[in-house]
Amino acid sequence: MAKILIVDDEQDIADLVSYNLEKEGFNTIKAYDGADVLKIVKTQKPDLIILDLMLPHMNGLDICRAIRRNPETASLPIIMLTAKGDEVDKIIGLEIGADDYMTKPFSIKELIARVRTILRRLHDNNNKTGKEKFQYEELTINYASCLVQVGGKPVTLSPTELKLLFFLSRNSGRVYSRNQILDQVWGDDIFITDRAVDVHVRRLRSQIEEDIENPRYILTVRGFGYKFADIQ
């Protein structure tokens, strides 16, 4: 069963989340100080992190940035769990690579549903069979190994960004609304707004596009949504 790292300086909350996840069959690790998290990630190798934003010594945003910068942990799923409910905080969290975002107080059932959804999405991505590959201009995707390269150089993407790129590239030329993308990439049982699509598209473009203001791969269709470029 998946191993979940719970990071929260409020021990009662960490214990509550841990207890309920373990009731559902997950293994859990708890951390109460931001300074300990990167070491635990390296040594314990969790499958997903539930990460509080406000932590002593190293805050959740800096931890998220550090995890995404390290190629060994770049694809590690992260759910941010915090008392901050400001829309700006949510957008910042998603832009630096969080896969999902919840605010306190929260529903344990909803948190567990999100954990399951993200892990299922990651499992689906990692279990593509065959050596299916995709190439368009400088962009190369290996769906089986989840390797993405631009100009021959590997690109580090979060699980959600990978799923978004996989979905759009497999349906190149077809336009999808934000709600359709939410259904296909996040699924019906994820509790997230269509604004998250814009955030993840912008972050994905920052990783694969040479000029994010004039993208070649992920194109905006004004008034409707997004598509991958038409391939002749």
Do residue 12 and residue 107 come from a single domain? yes
- Please report, for residues 149, 170, 216, the alpha-carbon distance to residue 208 in angstroms, rounded to integers and kept in the order given: 8, 16, 9
Question: Where residue 69 sits, what CATH number does that domain have?
Answer: 3.40.50.2300
Do residue 66 and residue 121 come from a single domain? yes
The domain boundary residue, chosen from 74, 105, 125: 125
The domain boundary residue, chosen from 77, 98, 125: 125
Q: What was the pLDDT predicted at 226?
A: 94
Sorted by sequence, the CB contacts under 8 Å of residue 114 that are 6+ apart come out as 79, 100, 102, 190, 191
Do residue 8 and residue 117 come from a single domain? yes
Question: Where residue 187 sits, what CATH number does that domain have?
Answer: 1.10.10.10
Pairing of β 225-228 and β 218-221: antiparallel
Q: What was the pLDDT predicted at 86?
A: 67
Do residue 143 and residue 94 come from a single domain? no
Q: How far apart are CA 200 and CA 203, in angstroms?
A: 5
The domain boundary residue, chosen from 73, 94, 125: 125
pLDDT in tens, the chain (232 residues): 899 999 999 999 999 999 999 999 999 999 999 999 999 999 999 999 999 988 999 999 899 989 988 878 887 899 988 776 666 677 777 777 788 888 888 899 999 988 988 887 776 655 554 447 888 999 999 887 888 999 999 998 888 889 899 999 988 888 898 888 888 887 755 566 778 889 899 999 999 999 999 999 999 998 889 999 987 5
Tokens 């989840």 locate to 146
Sorted by sequence, the CB contacts under 8 Å of residue 85 that are 6+ apart come out as 103
Q: What was the pLDDT predicted at 190?
A: 55
Do residue 158 and residue 195 come from a single domain? yes
Q: Which amino acid is at 67?
A: I
pTM of the model as a whole: 0.64
DSSP string, 29-80: EEE--HHHHHHHHHHH--SEEEEESS-SSS-HHHHHHHHHHSTTTTT--EEE
The count of structural domains within the chain is: 2
Domain that holds residue 151: 129-228
Do residue 105 and residue 24 come from a single domain? yes
Do residue 62 and residue 81 come from a single domain? yes
